[in-house]
Amino acid sequence: MESTSQIDAHWKGILECAAIEVFAMMASTELRAMAEQPDHPGGEQTAMVGLAGALCGMITIRCKPETAVKLATQMLGEDARSNPSMVGDALGELCNMVAGNFKSKITGLADHCMLSVPTVIWGEDYVMQTVQPNSGLQFALACDGLPVWFALVTHG
């Protein structure tokens, strides 16, 4: 399969579906569409997984610390509430699972796109710069009323 850097118009819906399925299965958490999208992504916890092969880029999940702790607690138990390492591991694994679910839903991509090990960033004041040319999409879904940001950036 040839490498692509262009975002397909259907991928936003596919990524939303992948996120909703993974969060329900892994964290027993229901994500909902937001009536209004916030102006810009926010939150001090970001997990990212790189994509290489037929699709090159990155998928990210970004949220507030209280959301990350809630998700980690749902996945790993109450010990996660006081263990930042467990919170990072849980958010990284959610991102990894969303990326895997996303690529499995696109015909011909599953076997021709590899995922990196998840990386987690703590802090809100950063800028992510990617190789040009690139394209991308981002959106927020609500987790207990708070936004969880999902993004796909491709380059190639």
Structural domains of the chain ordered from first start: 11-30+42-155 (3.40.1550.10)
Helix (H) or strand (E) holding 68: helix 65-76
d(CA 53, CA 137): 19
A 10 A CB-CB count for 15 gives 23
Average pLDDT of the residues in 110-138: 83
Q: How much is the pLDDT for 86? A: 96
Quick check: 10 pLDDT over 90?
Answer: yes
d(CA 97, CA 103): 10
Q: Tell me the pTM.
A: 0.91
Which parts of the chain are beta strand (E)?
Answer: 32-33, 45-53, 57-63, 113-115, 119-122, 134-143, 146-155
